[in-house]
Structure 1
Amino acid sequence: MGNWLVNHWFSAAVLAAWLGINIFLFTYYFLFFDRDERYIYTRAILGSALAWARASAKCLNFNSMLILLPVCRNLLSFLRGSFSCCRRTLRKQLDHNLTFHKLVAYALALLTAVHTIAHLFNLERYNHSQQANDGSLHAVLSKMHLQDSNKWLNPIHSNQTTVEYVAFTTIPGLTGVIITLALILMVTSSTEFIRRNYFEVFWYTHHLFIIYFIGLVIHGVAGLVRGQTEESMKEVHPERCAEFLVNKPKECRHECCKEPEFGSIPAESWKWVLAPVILYIFERILRIWRGRQKVVVTKVVMHPAKVLELQMQKKGFRMEVGQYIFVNCPAVSLLEWHPFTLTSAPEEDFFSIHIRAAGDWTERIIDTFQQQKLEMPRIEVDGPFGTASEDVFLYEVAMLVGAGIGVTPFASILKSIWYRFQQNDQTLKTKKIYFYWLCRDTGAFTWFNDLLASLEQKMAESGKADFLTYRLFLTGWDTSIANNAALHFDTVTDTVTGLRQKTIFGRPRWDTEFSAVATAHPRSVVGVFLCGPEALAKVLQRSCHQHSSMDPRKVKFYFNKENF
C-alpha cells in the first residue's frame, strides 16, 4: 500500500474529494425532496421516485460543470506553468486530465440512467393518478387542473395521454431523450477500439456535446415537476389540510377549504454550467485564432516504415521538451485536428513532428505530401501543450520508455540534451537517463539512429559516456535477422541499427531493469516516462509500485504517461 501511495496519493485525494462531493449532493438532495414539506403533495403522487430523480439531477449538474474543464488544454498549460510549489505532484495530476474526463463521463452516464428511470416511474405514476377515480389523495390532486389551470400538480391532464406521448412532446421529455442519445453516442464512440481504428467517428460524434449542453440548459425550463408554493404553504399547510382535499364538506368554512397552489421547481442547470461553457468557448476561440496563424513547412522527409517528418516554422512559436501540438490539414479534412508530439528540441529554429500511417487521416496526409508537386499543402497548428514528458528534467534519474512511434517525445528530450552538452549547460539537474525503445520491425529504428549515434559520439567526447544508457528491443523479427545478428555478434556496431549498443531480441524484463536502476541509484527519485500502449503502462506502473519505498532514504519511482 505504501509503494502505491508514492505514485497515487494526490490522485487518490482528488478522487476522494470528487466522490465525496457527489455522495454529499446526492444524499443531501435525496433527503431534502424526500422530507421537505413543500413536496408532500408531490410525493403523494410520485413516492420516492421524486427524490431519486431530483438527487441524480443535482449530481448531473455538478458533473456537467466538471466535464469540460479537463479538456481546456490552454487552462491546463497555464496551470502547469503557474505553480512553483508542489510542482511535480500537481503537474503529475494534470497529466491525468483525460482519465478524469472519462471518469466524469461515466458518472454522467450512470446518473443519466438513474435520472431517466426515476422519471419513467414518475410519468407512469402521473398517468396512473390521472386515470384514478377512487377519491384518494393522489387522484384528487391530479384532477385539480380541471378547476383551475394555475393549480395543477400533475402535468398529465387527459386520460387519453400516454407516457410515451409526454416523453416525446414536452420540453423536458424531448430534451431528455436528445441528451441521453447524445451521451450514449459520445460514450460508446470514445472506446479505445473506435478511437484507434475509426478516429473520425469519435471526432464527429464527440461534438454532440454542443447538443448535450443546449439540451441540458433547456431541460428544466418547463418545470413539469412541481411543489406547493411558499404562500400557499402558509395558508393551507398539507399536514393539517390534506384531509380536506379528500373529504371536503359541501359548505366548508374551515381555513383549509382553500385549495393549495403549486409552482415549478426553478431550472438551475444553467447556473452550474455557465462558467465552464464560457471558459470553453474562449478556449475554442483561442484555438481557432492560433490555428489560423501562418505555418511554413520548411522540410518534408519520408522515413522508412512509412513515417513522415514535417519540419515547420511559425511566428512566435515557443516550445518545451516533450510537448505536443494539434495539426490540421485542410486539404485532407477541414474539421479534423490530430495531436502529435513534437520531435524537435527547443534549441532548434524549427519545430517538427513525425507522422506514422495509423488510420485514414494519417494515410491521406502522408499521401498528400508524397504527391505534392509545386505547392506545399497548407498546415494549421494549435499549441504547444504540456505533457508528462515536459517534467523529465525535474528528476535526477529518468527512465524513458517508447514503443514504436511512441519514441517521439523522447526524440525532443534527447535532442535537447545533445544541445545542452554542446553548450556545456551546468544547470542540467538530470544526471542519468535510461532509454528503452521497443519496436516490432527494424524499419522503425532507422529515422532515430542518427540522433542516437550523435549522442553517443558527443557524450564520449564530453567525458559523459555514462550519462545515457539505452536499450533497443526488437519485439518482432524473422530467422534471417536473428541469424545475421548472431553471426556478427563480435562486431563493434550492431548489424540492425549500426549503433554500438546491441539490439536485444524480445521484450524487456522490467523487474530486472528496475532492480538494476534501484541498485545503481539507491536514494534517488526516479521519473519513469512512457509513451506507448496501455498494456505496457500497467506493467511499468506495477514495477514502479513494487520497487518504490516510503522510506525517504530509499529509491522512489514516479510513473508518468503521455495522454492525448
Structure 2
Amino acid sequence: MDAQLEQNETIAYVLSQIGNEDNSSYLNPIRTNETNPTFVAFTTIAGLSGVASTLALILIITSSMEVIRRSYFEVFWFTHHLFVIFFIGLVIHGVGEIVRGQTASSVLENKPNICATQYKDWGKVRDCPIPQFTGNPPMTWKWVIGPMVLYVFERLVRFWRSKQKVVITKVVTHPSKTLELQMKKKGFKMEVGQYVNLQCPSVSQLEWHPFTLTSAPEEDHFSVHIRIVGDWTQQLFEACGGEKKEFQEAWKLPKMAVDGPFGTASEDVFRYEVVMLVGAGIGVTPFASVLKSVWYRYFNNDTGLIPKKIYFYWLCRETNAFEWFADLLQSLETQMLERGNADFLSYRIYLTGWDEAQAAHFTVHHEEENDPITGLKQKTLYGRPNWENEFKTIAGNHPGARIGVFLCGPEVLAKSLSKQSINHSDADPRGVHFIFNKENF
C-alpha cells in the first residue's frame, strides 16, 4: 500500500505497478492508490476473515480470566465456542490469495542478479522480461483438518453418551449450599478423583459443566457435590427440589446427561506409600472419592492397598462447609480404630474464617472429647497451616520415601506447596522426595 501511495521510482513501486494495464499478472494485491488500511481490512476476504478471527480470539482469551470462569461460567462456556469462527476465518483467510509470488516459469526466465538492479528496463531487455505472479493457494486447512476431525468425533461421542439413560437415585441438600446428586448409568466405570461433564436439558440444552466425582469405584452409584454459586447451579438446585422439604418422587426429578468420566492427577494416589492430600473449600471433592475408596478397601481387607500413610489437610472458610464431609471422616476414624490402625490416616481441618461469637462458642466447648464443629475426635485448627513445619515433619517421619502431594485449591496455594515440595526433596536419589500434583480448581 505504501508503494502505491508514494509513487516513486523504487523497485517496490515498479513491482506494484505490474498488471495495472491488463490485470493479467500482479504482485501487489492493493490495486489502487486511493485507499487506506481500514478500507482494505473490511473489503477483502483476508481482511474480513482476519478481523473476525482476531475478535473471536480476543473474546476467548478475555473470558478465560479466572474471575469470569468462577462467577460467570456461562459467559466462559459460550464465548469459547467462538473458536468455530476463529478456525473458519483461519481457513478462508488465504482464499483471496492476497499473498502472491513469482511463478516458477517466470523465475527460470529471469536472472535475479541482473534484473534486481535493472528494474526500470524490465520487458525491454531479453534477460529481464516482466515477471509473472500468481496468488499462493490457501494452505491452513491442511493443518486444521486433523484437529477438526478429532473435535467432531469427540462431539459425536458426547452426543451418543448424552442419549444414554441416567437415573438420579438420591438428592441430598447440604447446609453449606451444596447439592449432592447420586446417579446410576449402565456401563459407567470410574476411578478415584475423576470428573464428569453434566448437562441438564431442562435447565439448558447447550451447557455442559464439569464436576468431580465424590463416590468411590466400589460403590454401586456415582455422585457429585455441586456448590450453588451461579445461575446454572441455582436452576439445577431448584429443578431437583432442593428448596422443598417434602420427598421428591423420581419421575419429578430432571433428566441428566453425563459425559465421562475423565482422568485427573488424583488417579495416581495409590502409586505412593505416603500421600499428602490438600483440599481448599469445595476442592476437597476429589479426595472424598479417594478416602471413600480407602475405606472400602480397608473394610474388604484389600491387601493390595499401597498407601501406608495418608496426611489429609482441609482448609475452609465457613463452619457449615464441613458438614457433608464430616460423616465420611468419622466413618474412616471409627474403622481405623476398630482395626487397630488409627495412625494410617492423619488429618488436619483448618477453619480460616470465624467471628467473635463462633470463637466464644469454640472456647466453651474446647475441652469436650469431640470437636464442636465436625464432631470428630481430631479438633479443628484455626488459621492456616505452617507448610514449612508440615513438610519438615513428614520428611522426618518418612526418610527415603517418595511422597505424593496432591492439591485441589487456588493457584497461590499451589505455588506454595510446589515450592515446599522442591525445598524439602533430597538431592540424593535415596533420600525423601515430594512429588507435587495439582488438580484443576
TM-score range, shorter chain: over 0.9
Deviation of the 1:224 alpha carbon: 1.2
Deviation of the 1:214 alpha carbon: 0.8
Partner of 2:91: 217
Number of aligned residue pairs: 435
In the alignment, is the contact (CA less than 8 A) between 2:122 and 2:129 conserved in 1? Answer: no
Q: Return 160-169 or 424-433, whichever deviates more.
A: 160-169
Partner of 1:37: none
Q: Determine the C-alpha separation between the residues in 2 that align with 1:343 and 1:257.
A: 76
Q: Does 1:265 align with 2:139?
A: no
Pair 446,133 (structure 1): closer, same or farther in 2 beyond 3 Å: closer
81, 87, 99: which one aligns with 1:207: 81
Q: Does 1:516 align with 2:393?
A: yes
Deviation of the 1:288 alpha carbon: 1.6
| 1:393-442 residue CA offsets vs partner (Å, 9 max, x unmatched) | 01111000111111111111111011101110011111100001111111
Deviation of the 1:482 alpha carbon: 2.4
Deviation of the 1:371 alpha carbon: 5.3
Pair 242,313 (structure 1): closer, same or farther in 2 beyond 3 Å: same
Deviation of the 1:147 alpha carbon: 2.8
SS state of the match for residue 149, structure 1? Answer: coil
| 1:183-212 residue CA offsets vs partner (Å, 9 max, x unmatched) | 001001110111111111111111000111
| 1:472-529 residue CA offsets vs partner (Å, 9 max, x unmatched) | 1111112233233333333221111111101111111111111111010011111111
SS state of the match for residue 116, structure 2? Answer: helix
Pair 135,371 (structure 1): closer, same or farther in 2 beyond 3 Å: same
Partner of 1:4: none
| 1:203-258 residue CA offsets vs partner (Å, 9 max, x unmatched) | 11110001111111111122212121111011113322234431358xx4x32352
450, 457, 460: which one aligns with 2:327: 450
The residue identity in structure 2 corresponding to 1:410 is F
| 1:283-334 residue CA offsets vs partner (Å, 9 max, x unmatched) | 1111121122110000001111111100000000000000000111112111
342, 346, 363: which one aligns with 2:234: 363
Higher RCO (Cα < 8 Å, 6 or more apart): 1
SS state of the match for residue 382, structure 1? Answer: strand
The residue identity in structure 1 corresponding to 2:34 is Q
Q: Determine the C-alpha separation between the residues in 2 that align with 1:323 and 1:363.
A: 24
TM-score (norm 2): 0.95
In the alignment, is the contact (CA less than 8 A) between 1:136 and 1:246 conserved in 2? Answer: no
Partner of 2:19: 145
343, 356, 369: which one aligns with 1:466: 343
Q: Does 1:330 align with 2:210?
A: no
236, 239, 246: which one aligns with 2:110: 236
The residue identity in structure 2 corresponding to 1:293 is Q
Q: Does 1:391 align with 2:268?
A: yes
In the alignment, is the contact (CA less than 8 A) between 1:324 and 1:387 conserved in 2? Answer: yes
Q: Does 1:307 align with 2:178?
A: yes
The residue identity in structure 1 corresponding to 2:225 is H
SS state of the match for residue 343, structure 2? Answer: coil
Structure with more strand by fraction: 2
| 1:32-56 residue CA offsets vs partner (Å, 9 max, x unmatched) | xxxxxxxxxxxxxxxxxxxxxxxxx
| Matches for 1:104-503 after TM superposition, within 5 Å | 127-247=1-121, 252=124, 254-369=125-240, 370=242, 374=249, 375-503=252-380
The residue identity in structure 1 corresponding to 2:331 is S
In the alignment, is the contact (CA less than 8 A) between 1:172 and 1:220 conserved in 2? Answer: yes
Q: Determine the C-alpha separation between the residues in 1 that align with 2:32 and 2:379.
A: 82
Deviation of the 1:563 alpha carbon: 1.6
Pair 467,173 (structure 1): closer, same or farther in 2 beyond 3 Å: same
The residue identity in structure 1 corresponding to 2:208 is W
SS state of the match for residue 502, structure 1? Answer: coil
Pair 308,134 (structure 1): closer, same or farther in 2 beyond 3 Å: closer
Deviation of the 1:549 alpha carbon: 1.7
In the alignment, is the contact (CA less than 8 A) between 2:121 and 2:128 conserved in 1? Answer: no
Q: Determine the C-alpha separation between the residues in 2 that align with 1:448 and 1:187.
A: 36
Q: Determine the C-alpha separation between the residues in 2 that align with 1:531 and 1:537.
A: 8
Q: Determine the C-alpha separation between the residues in 1 that align with 2:305 and 2:362.
A: 37
TM-score (norm 1): 0.75
The residue identity in structure 2 corresponding to 1:470 is Y
Q: Determine the C-alpha separation between the residues in 1 that align with 2:5 and 2:361.
A: 86
The residue identity in structure 1 corresponding to 2:83 is F
Q: Determine the C-alpha separation between the residues in 1 that align with 2:334 and 2:10.
A: 92
SS state of the match for residue 224, structure 2? Answer: strand
Percent of paired sites with the same residue: 58
Q: Determine the C-alpha separation between the residues in 1 that align with 2:263 and 2:420.
A: 25
What's the Cα RMSD here?
1.6
Query: Which 4+ residue blocks in structure 1 deviate beyond 6 angstroms?
Result: none
Q: Determine the C-alpha separation between the residues in 1 that align with 2:333 and 2:128.
A: 95
The residue identity in structure 2 corresponding to 1:333 is S
Deviation of the 1:271 alpha carbon: 1.3
SS state of the match for residue 24, structure 2? Answer: helix
SS state of the match for residue 291, structure 2? Answer: helix
The residue identity in structure 2 corresponding to 1:497 is T
The residue identity in structure 2 corresponding to 1:474 is L
Unaligned runs of 5+ in 1: 1-126
Q: Determine the C-alpha separation between the residues in 1 that align with 2:64 and 2:158.
A: 22
Q: Does 1:562 align with 2:439?
A: yes
The residue identity in structure 1 corresponding to 2:425 is S
| 1:122-157 residue CA offsets vs partner (Å, 9 max, x unmatched) | xxxxx2322344333222221211233222011111
In the alignment, is the contact (CA less than 8 A) between 1:245 and 1:259 conserved in 2? Answer: no
The residue identity in structure 1 corresponding to 2:189 is R
